[in-house]
Chains A and B, each alone.
Chain A
Amino acid sequence: MSDTPAKLFFMEKDDKIEAGVLGEGLLFSAVGSRYRLSQRGDGVRAAKCILYVVFIFCLVLHARPSYAQERAAGEEKRQCLRCHSEKNSVKKFPDGDFVSTYVDSVALDKSVHRSLPCTACHVDFSALSHPDRAFRNKLQYRIRESHGCRHCHTDRVIRSRAIHEALFKKEGSGEAVICTDCHSAHAVARITGGNVSTSEDNYCLRCHAFENRMRFRNGEFRSIRVDVAEFRDSPHRNVGCSDCHFGFSAQEHPDRRFSSERTYRLSSAEICKRCHFDKYSKISESIHYSMLNSGRLDAPTCIDCHGSHAVLSLSRSRLSVVQKCKACHSGIYEIYARSVHGSALFKENNKDVPICIDCHSSHSIKDPSSSEFHDYIPDLCSKCHSNAAIMGKYGLSVDVVKSYLADFHGVTLGLYRKEAQKRYRADRPMAVCTDCHGTHGITNVSGADLLTIKKNLRKRCHTCHTNATENFPDAWLSHYKPSLRVAPLVFIVEEFYKLMMPLMVIGLLFQVFLDIWRYFASR
Chain B
Amino acid sequence: MVYGKLSGDKEYVRRFSAYRIIEHIALIALFAALAATGLSQKFYALGVSQSLIAVLGGIDSVRFLHHLAGALFTALVAQHVLLNFWGIVYRQWEPSMLVNFNDFVDALHNVRYYIGIADRPAVRARYNYKEKFIYWLILLGGIQMIVTGFILWFPVAATKYFPGQFIPASKVVHTNEAMLIFLLVAIWHIYDSMFSPDVFPLDKSIFIGYSEKKRFERRLAEPENEAGAKNRELQRR
Contact = CB atoms under 8 A, between A and B. Distances in A.
Band of interface residues on A: 35 or more
Contact of A475 (B57, B159, B173, B183): B159
B169 A493 contact: yes
A474 B164 contact: yes
A474 B158 CA distance: 12
A496 to B, nearest CB: 8
Interface residues of B, number: 42
B197 A519 contact: yes
Contacts of A416: 59
B176 A501 contact: yes
Contacts of B60: 426-428
Interface of B is mostly: helix
Interface string B159-198: 1101111111101110011011001100110010000111
A490 B168 contact: yes
A415 B179 contact: no
Contacts of A472: 155-156, 159, 164
Nearest to B166: A489
Nearest to A414: B44
A497 B163 CA distance: 21
A142 B57 CA distance: 61
Tell which of A411, A473, A490, A515 has the most Cβ of chain B within 10 Å.
A515
Nearest to A461: B156
Interface in A478-523: 482, 487, 489-490, 493-494, 497, 500-501, 504-505, 508-509, 511-512, 514-516, 518-522
Given A509-B187, A516-B197, A471 B59 contact: no
Nearest to A454: B164
B54 interface: yes
Nearest to A496: B176
Contact of B164 (A475, A511, A521): A475
A482 B168 contact: yes
Interface stretch (B8-16, B81-89, B114-122, B228-236): B114-122
Given A415-B50, A472-B156, A514-B114, 15 more contacts: A414-B44, A415-B44, A426-B58, A472-B159, A472-B164, A475-B155, A475-B165, A475-B166, A490-B172, A497-B176, A500-B176, A515-B191, A518-B113, A519-B197, A520-B197
Interface of A: 408, 411-412, 414-416, 418-419, 422, 424, 426-428, 465, 467-469, 471-477, 482, 487, 489-490, 493-494, 497, 500-501, 504-505, 508-509, 511-512, 514-516, 518-522
